[in-house]
A and B are shown apart, each in its own frame.
Chain A
Amino acid sequence: KAGVTQTPRYLIKTRGQQVTLSCSPISGHRSVSWYQQTPGQGLQFLFEYFSETQRNKGNFPGRFSGRQFSNSRSEMNVSTLELGDSALYLCASSSTGGVAGEQYFGPGTRLTVT
């Protein structure tokens, strides 16, 4: 079956703008998590959605937000972009409801803020 897809793959934005990234999980998966990957901070958890509800949130400012739709697709939004938001944004989907299991990652969206 198809893997996790993320769109767009690459994005260039200017400081102060906002951006919306999209993630389509593997069919049947109800959990979608978002991570930010930077050379300096590594992979950091942003938030997780399960059945349209945010279940977990990492230590990121309120400029970072997300949502999940009834078909499990998820979007994350970053408002008032800063240079430091330049990163690879990864989403991962899982079929499990909070029990450890394999999480399948998408290829990521590379965001560059200028």
Chain B
Amino acid sequence: GESVGLHLPTLSVQEGDNSIINCAYSNSASDYFIWYKQESGKGPQFIIDIRSNMDKRQGQRVTVLLNKTVKHLSLQIAATQPGDSAVYFCAEFVTGGGNKLTFGTGTQLKVEL
């Protein structure tokens, strides 16, 4: 069945270091993968997405890598800042299936000063 899971529940990094958050998925039919950031008391906020026909996409300070061979994606945050502290979710999406997102369990990113 469909499942999206994250490898690490908590990630602690020093301010200024790079962060890498990993995610595994199992639905080969997923054609979009999306990363969300959720701060305390708020709803998830879109960070970046990637189509299944791509293996890398860059945004502002963030890069998403997709490895379809092993069904794995990662979110890299460069020069992590205290404001990056949040829970990060990966989600998968199947085009034509309506706006249904299947979320992973989430990784808590803690930025230490």
Contacts and interface: CB of A to CB of B under 8 A. Distances in A.
Contacts of A99: 95-96
Contacts, number: 73
Interface in B76-113: 89, 91, 93, 95-106
Nearest to A9: B41
Nearest to A105: B43
B103 A4 contact: no
A103 B106 contact: no
A24 interface: no
B98 A103 contact: no
A48 B99 contact: yes
Given A100-B49, A100-B95, A45 B44 contact: no
Contacts of A84: none
A100 B32 contact: yes
The binding surface of chain A is classed by DSSP as: strand
A42 B32 CA distance: 20
Contacts of B99: 31, 33, 48, 50, 55-56, 92, 94, 96, 98, 103
Interface string A31-66: 101010000001111001010000110100000000
B101 A103 contact: yes
B100 to A, nearest CB: 5
Given A43-B44, A43-B103, A48 B49 contact: no
B54 to A, nearest CB: 12
Interface of A: 4, 31, 33, 35, 42-45, 48, 50, 55-56, 58, 90, 92, 94, 96, 98-100, 102-108
Interface of B: 31-32, 34, 36, 41-46, 49, 51, 89, 91, 93, 95-106
